[in-house]
């Protein structure tokens, strides 16, 4: 009988330890799942923000391209109209080119950075 008693005590001690580990494990698992959920929510929010920004950027680039195309056609039409009005071939293109160069020079003055 003396040999059974120590074995029984050991198994009771091991049983208590496994219960303690089970409670700690459950609490730890709950905390980790909460943190994991928070990170998943944050990641999804960042992904949505990036996707929205990329869509907005693509729209702006497309609108900018259409605006440049429209300006090119307007300038070409103005050049042809001026050439027709002055009855000198090429004068309209020269006038429009000078206007665009002056505009570019004026814009470059406003966009210079600090020295």
96 CB neighbour count, 10 Å cutoff: 20
Q: Do residues 80 and 92 lie in contact, with contact meaning Cβ atoms separated by under 8 Å?
A: yes
pLDDT > 50? residue 1? no
DSSP secondary structure letter of residue 115: -
Q: Do residues 85 and 60 lie in contact, with contact meaning Cβ atoms separated by under 8 Å?
A: no
Q: What is the pLDDT of residues 43-84, one digit of tens each?
A: 999 999 999 999 999 999 999 999 999 999 999 999 999 999
pTM for this predicted structure: 0.57
Least confident of 10-19, 20-29, 35-44, 92-101: 10-19
């Amino acid at each position: 009988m003396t040999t059974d008693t120590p074995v029984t005590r050991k198994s009771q001690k091991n049983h208590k330890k496994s219960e303690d580990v089970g409670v700690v494990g459950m609490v730890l698992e709950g905390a980790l799942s909460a943190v994991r959920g928070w990170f998943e929510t944050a990641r999804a929010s960042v992904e949505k923000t990036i996707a929205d920004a990329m869509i907005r950027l693509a729209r702006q680039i497309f609108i900018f391209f259409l605006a440049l195309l429209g300006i090119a056609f307007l300038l070409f039409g103005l050049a042809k109209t001026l050439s027709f009005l002055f009855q000198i071939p090429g004068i309209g293109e020269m006038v429009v080119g000078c206007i665009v160069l002056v505009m570019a020079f004026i814009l470059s003055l406003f966009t210079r950075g600090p020295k």
